Amino acid sequence: MHILKNLLSFLSLTLFVACGGGHNPDQDLVDGVPRSQSVGDEKFVTVDSSDQLEFGDGTLSGVGTVRFASDLESVASNYHYKLIFSLEEGTELTLHSHANADLANGLDIRFKRVGASLQVFGTASGVTDDWTSFFKDINATQAMAIGIDVHNDEPITHFIFWDNLSGAELLDSAKDVAGGPGKGYGQNWGLSLLNAFVNKVEKGEPRGGH
């Protein structure tokens, strides 16, 4: 009996150590974020003050910056993002990709509504490219659905954009312009809102073939 008790204790201790010794910190973060703090299926944490952000029903709006809990696999990686969002006059939405935990030192894609037009800028390493002319067919007065490939595992990071309402490819920065503004050096992604309304955001495998 005494031996059996010791054996059970030993097995319990072994199991405890085994279960506690390995864990995925990334999954811990995702699991630790309440479901109410998400846009679609993507959970987020706030990067700065969240006083002016509204969320809880699967959408995100207002003013503030969020970093998504599920980070990118590696710095040298490629992803496809789907954004469904609306902008009032003069308001902005920025997608951050391949950035550090503060969403700096990465790739910033900024959308700004001016009248019925959508202005689009790409920034990296202090360099900003104006891609607005490629979005002239977008009606910024209604909800927009934009697909974005970010290819950050190549000598020159490049971007491909689609209008997911019409299905049209809008811009391939590796072809239509001289590449991109620079590279991203982190594994985080997120959004900065300046009175924008985000219905949905998704991250997945790259859609473009090159």
Partner 1 sequence: MRAILGKTFLTLFLTASLSAFSQDHGHDHDESHLEEAPVVLAGVHSIEIFKEAFEKDGSSLGAELIGFESKGVAGDIEVAVFSTSGKDKIKSSLYDCHLHGASAHCDFLEESDSKDYQAAKGSFTAEEFELAAVSAVTLFEEAIAEPSLIQKATFWRSYDLFSSQANIQVKLEWKNAQNAVAESFLYCHHHQHGDGEAEMDCHRQRKAGPFQP
Residue ranges that bind partner 1, judged by CB under 8 A: 76, 153-156, 158, 174-179, 183, 209-210
- For residues 64 and 184, which CB has a smaller minimum distance to partner 1 in the complex? 184
- For residues 177 and 198, which CB has a smaller minimum distance to partner 1 in the complex? 177
Query: Which DSSP string do the residues of the chain spell out, in sequence order?
Result: -HHHHHHHHHHHHHHHHHHHH---HHHHHHHHS-TTSEETTEEEEESS--TTEEESSS-EEEEEEEEESS--S-SS-EEEEEEEEEEEEEEEEEEEEEE-TTS-SSEEEEEEEETTEEEEEEEETTEEEE-GGGGTT--TTS-EEEEEEEE-SSSS-EEEEEETTT--EEEETTTTSSS-S-----SEEEEEEEEEEEEEEEEES--S--
CB of 118 to partner 1, least distance (A): 23
CB of 207 to partner 1, least distance (A): 13
- For residues 61 and 157, which CB has a smaller minimum distance to partner 1 in the complex? 157
CB of 173 to partner 1, least distance (A): 8
CB of 166 to partner 1, least distance (A): 21
CB of 161 to partner 1, least distance (A): 16
- For residues 45 and 76, which CB has a smaller minimum distance to partner 1 in the complex? 76
- For residues 109 and 174, which CB has a smaller minimum distance to partner 1 in the complex? 174
